[in-house]
């Protein structure tokens, strides 16, 4: 067989085989529930971007934003056209506050991921790939971090760094990397003896190139799943921290609205509580369901769990 | 197996050491100026220094080279780090700044109410969630199963705080079924325990159901079906036994969440446990109490995890081989 024929045979391959991502996307698209959830998440993301622009617009202009405007003789107003969800104890519009809460929820979700995921990936990869001493050290490290009760740890971090968004994000970020790190360590442990890794190594590829360019793409789906499942957790934790008084300061987060509504509930003013709860409920639910669908689509091993058995 | 247990028990030492190290770094090295914050703006310099000394915040951080050079090598360990280690070993964390009581006494007093609240939640939650997960696995792919999954995902998406607020408002205030605040009789515990169980159930049921369904795929299940065992025998005799291992793992993962969950329950229902103590300390910037709570909480967790691993070894005979 001449090389020309071989060449033709290679170039004639009808189409590239579909990648894991394409298969996953196809499967997710077939899942109606997941698509609805994706729509909900996209909607919330748009709201968050809008709220972010409102926030920065007024901040740059150094004016008081409308969601902080106090109408003192219009407190605890019931829903009307002007205030679609009524007003709170200071006469601030609840609807606008819920929108701003979306912004803060997204900020918390994204910032904590930016902190936690790199730590988890780097430590998990090093531990699983190199093994031995490094592995012992990293396993020890995450066992230690795992041992500190996470809420107390976050509170302590927030006390040290300072109350507010940054403290909360660093606190949540530093406590939630352990799960993903443990998972990735296991995966790297499995992958480091696979044939493609051995092949790369025998070609003289460096350890770090193998870790990040060869193995990482093969475990990347785990990172994406972990991202979508950590997001709701971060939002729920922010609520609790706001109640405990170390959350976001001076801005209307859902947590602050819920903890403010605590006292007003007894007086029969439930709009604020219900508004913040419902707003939070849908995004958390959407992320939970979408994360599940994503896991089913991206992790073929787990897919069997949902299939039919004997 | 004894070798395994001993090895596992010895691992507690480096972990406790590590926990001490990160709390020390958090509170003493990175830490904020606790003494001047606690005394307020108008404190004199001498007062601040005196308090720093009492809190173990004065002097060098790790090793006291200066004193060692001048007064002999025994003074080398006269530093913040060794002061803290001594506190942990002797279980003497000094006095609370807010109430001037000994912290170890406060802790021991708080232990009882915390356990009285935590243990029933823990036990009821596990029994209920395993039972529900088994039912869901038994009726898998029916409307019952799907309904349960949806119900618990919905339950998972509601904030813990909302469960407490609504539970207190509706059951405690509107219907007057339960007292809302206090720690006097069993009646005071029913509502917090119920809320704790309900809010924690979602995650557990979802996880256990996946575990059980995963097991349904194993070869031994096919074999059991092939030899004619009934659905019920397979589920309760084979699957449940094998699923106990991931279930046990998850039980340990719940323990720290239980502690922190109780933080909120205790503050809302006025139960004078460790969580209540911690929140009070945070509200009044009671530095020594916060530090001690973090440390004690971590140590409790380390020992709980040790206990679980030992149970593991007892349940799973394969561990002996390692």
| Nearest Cβ partner for A266 among B156, B173, B298 | B173
pLDDT of residue A46: 93
Average pLDDT taken over every residue of chain B: 79
Q: Which residue of B has its CA nearest to A229?
A: B157
pLDDT of residue A298: 77
* Degrees, nearest 5: CA angle B187-B190-B191: 115
Residue A167, burial from CB neighbour count under 10 angstroms (0-12, 13-18, 19+): buried
The answer to whether the CB atoms of B293 and A152 lie below 8 A apart is yes
Distances (CA, A) of B244 to B8, B38, B239, B249: 20, 49, 9, 9
Phi, psi of A12 (to 5 degrees): -80, -5
pLDDT of residue A42: 92
pLDDT, tens digit, 9 for 90 and up, residues B218-227? 888 888 888 8
C-beta atoms surrounding A60 within 10 Å: 8
| Nearest Cβ partner for B19 among A148, A156, A244 | A148
Average pLDDT over residues A202-224: 85
Which residues are CB-contacts of B56 (< 8 A; sequence separation ≥ 6)? B28, B80, B83, B84, B87, B94
Distances (CA, A) of A98 to A27, A53, B55, B239, B268: 34, 15, 43, 46, 25
The answer to whether the CB atoms of B165 and A160 lie below 8 A apart is no
The answer to whether the CB atoms of B158 and A232 lie below 8 A apart is no
Q: What is the domain class of B106-315 according to CATH? A: mainly alpha
pLDDT at B233 over 50: yes
- In chain B, residues under CATH classification 1.10.3720.10 are 106-315
Average pLDDT over residues B53-76: 69
Distances (CA, A) of B123 to A33, A143, B126, B169, B183: 34, 25, 5, 26, 20
* Degrees, nearest 5: CA angle B69-B61-B14: 110
Residue A288 touches partner B, C-beta closer than 8 Å: yes
The answer to whether the CB atoms of A310 and B221 lie below 8 A apart is yes
Average pLDDT over residues B284-288: 78
**What DSSP string describes B107-139?**
HHHHHHHHHHHHHHHHHHHHHHHHHHHHHHHHT
pLDDT of residue A7: 57
Q: Which residue of B has its CA nearest to A270?
A: B166
Average pLDDT taken over every residue of chain A: 80
pLDDT of residue B156: 82
pLDDT of residue A310: 34
Percent of chain A with pLDDT over 90: 5
Looking at CA atoms only, how far is residue B73 from chain A in angstroms? 31
pLDDT of residue A218: 82
Q: Which residue of B has its CA nearest to A274?
A: B162
Alpha helices in B216-273 (DSSP H): 219-226, 231-233, 240-269
**What is the spatial distance between Cα B219 and Cα B291, in angstroms, rounded to a whole number?**
50
**pTM of the entire structure?**
0.80
Percent of chain B with pLDDT over 90: 0
pLDDT at B260 over 80: no
Q: Is residue A87 helix, strand or coil?
A: strand
Is residue A184 within 8 Å of residue A222, measured between CB atoms? yes
Q: In chain A, which residues have their Cβ closer than 8 Å to the Cβ of B160?
A: 236, 239-240
Q: Which residue of A has its CA nearest to B258?
A: A149
Q: Is residue A17 helix, strand or coil?
A: coil
Q: Which residue of A has its CA nearest to B302?
A: A147
Element (H, E) at A239: helix A216-243
- Give the CB-side neighbour count of residue A281, counting CA atoms within 13 A: 15
**What is the spatial distance between Cα A254 and Cα B321, in angstroms, rounded to a whole number?**
51
| Nearest Cβ partner for B19 among A147, A151, A157 | A147
Looking at CA atoms only, how far is residue B318 from chain A in angstroms? 19
Higher pLDDT, A31 or A5: A31
Please identify among residues 220-279 of chain A the ones whose CB lies closer than 8 Å to any CB of chain B.
Answer: 232, 236, 239-240, 243-246, 255, 258-259, 261-262, 265-266, 273, 277
The answer to whether the CB atoms of B18 and A144 lie below 8 A apart is yes
Q: In chain A, which residues have their Cβ closer than 8 Å to the Cβ of B30?
A: 160
Is residue A104 within 8 Å of residue A254, measured between CB atoms? yes
pLDDT of residue A17: 66
Higher pLDDT, B284 or B60: B284
Q: Which residue of A has its CA nearest to B256?
A: A149
Distances (CA, A) of B238 to A75, A303, B15, B222, B243: 62, 22, 36, 11, 9
The answer to whether the CB atoms of B301 and A143 lie below 8 A apart is no
The ipTM value here is 0.78
**What is the spatial distance between Cα B16 and Cα B13, in angstroms, rounded to a whole number?**
5
Q: In chain A, which residues have their Cβ closer than 8 Å to the Cβ of B159?
A: 236, 239-240, 258, 277, 280
pLDDT at A239 over 90: no
């Amino acid at each position: 067989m001449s090389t020309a024929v071989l060449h033709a045979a290679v170039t004639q391959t009808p189409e590239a085989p579909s990648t894991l991502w394409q298969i996953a996307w196809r499967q997710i698209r077939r899942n109606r529930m997941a698509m609805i959830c994706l729509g909900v998440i996209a909607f919330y993301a748009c709201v968050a971007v809008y709220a972010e622009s409102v926030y920065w617009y007024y901040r740059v202009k150094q004016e008081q934003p409308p969601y902080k405007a106090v109408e003192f003789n219009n407190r605890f107003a019931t829903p009307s056209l002007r205030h679609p969800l009524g007003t709170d104890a200071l006469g601030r519009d609840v609807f606008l506050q819920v929108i701003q809460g979306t912004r803060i929820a997204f900020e918390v979700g994204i910032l904590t991921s930016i902190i936690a995921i790199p730590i988890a990936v780097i430590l998990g990869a090093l531990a699983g790939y190199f093994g031995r001493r490094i592995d012992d050290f990293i396993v020890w490290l995450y066992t230690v971090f795992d041992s500190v009760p996470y809420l107390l740890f976050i509170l302590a971090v927030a006390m040290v760094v300072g109350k507010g968004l940054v403290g909360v994000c660093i606190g949540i970020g530093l406590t939630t990397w352990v799960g993903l790190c443990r998972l990735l360590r296991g995966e790297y442990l499995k992958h480091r003896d696979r044939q493609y890794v051995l092949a790369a190594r025998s070609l003289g590829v460096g350890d770090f190139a193998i870790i990040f360019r060869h193995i990482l793409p093969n475990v990347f789906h785990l990172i994406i799943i972990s991202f979508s499942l950590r997001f709701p957790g971060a939002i729920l934790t922010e609520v609790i921290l706001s109640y405990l008084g170390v959350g976001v300061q001076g801005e209307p987060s859902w947590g602050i609205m819920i903890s403010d509504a605590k006292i007003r509930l007894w007086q029969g003013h439930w709009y604020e509580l219900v508004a913040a709860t419902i707003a939070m409920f849908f995004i958390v639910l959407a992320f939970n369901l979408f994360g599940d669908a994503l896991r089913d689509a991206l992790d073929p091993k787990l897919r069997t769990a949902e299939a039919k058995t004997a | 197996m004894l070798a395994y247990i001993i090895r596992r028990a010895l691992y507690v030492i480096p972990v406790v050491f590590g926990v001490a190290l990160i709390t020390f770094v958090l509170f003493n090295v990175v830490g904020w100026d606790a003494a001047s914050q606690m005394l307020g703006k108008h404190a004199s310099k001498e007062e601040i220094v005196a308090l720093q000394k009492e809190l173990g915040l004065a002097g060098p951080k790790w090793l006291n080279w200066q004193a060692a050079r001048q007064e002999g090598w025994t003074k080398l360990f006269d530093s913040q780090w060794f002061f803290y280690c001594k506190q942990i070993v002797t279980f003497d964390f000094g006095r609370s700044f807010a109430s001037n009581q000994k912290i170890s006494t406060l802790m021991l007093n708080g232990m009882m109410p915390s356990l009285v609240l935590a243990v029933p939640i823990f036990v009821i939650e596990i029994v209920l969630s395993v039972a529900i997960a088994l039912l869901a696995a038994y009726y898998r792919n029916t409307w019952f199963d799907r309904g349960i999954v949806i119900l618990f995902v919905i339950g998972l998406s509601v904030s813990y705080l909302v469960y407490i607020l609504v539970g207190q408002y509706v059951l405690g205030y509107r219907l007057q079924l339960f007292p809302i605040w206090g720690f006097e009789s069993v009646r005071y515990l029913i509502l917090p325990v119920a809320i704790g169980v309900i809010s924690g159930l979602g995650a557990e049921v979802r996880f256990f159901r996946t575990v059980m369904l995963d097991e349904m795929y194993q070869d031994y299940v096919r074999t059991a079906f092939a030899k004619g065992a009934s659905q019920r025998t397979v589920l309760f005799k084979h699957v449940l036994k094998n699923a106990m291992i991931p279930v046990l793992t998850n039980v340990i993962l719940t323990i720290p969440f239980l502690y922190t969950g109780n933080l909120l329950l205790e503050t809302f229902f006025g139960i004078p446990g460790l969580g209540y103590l911690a929140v009070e300390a945070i509200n009044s910037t009671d530095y020594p109490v916060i530090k001690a709570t973090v440390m004690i909480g971590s140590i409790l967790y380390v020992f709980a995890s040790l206990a679980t691993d030992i149970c593991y070894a007892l349940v799973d005979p394969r561990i002996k081989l390692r």
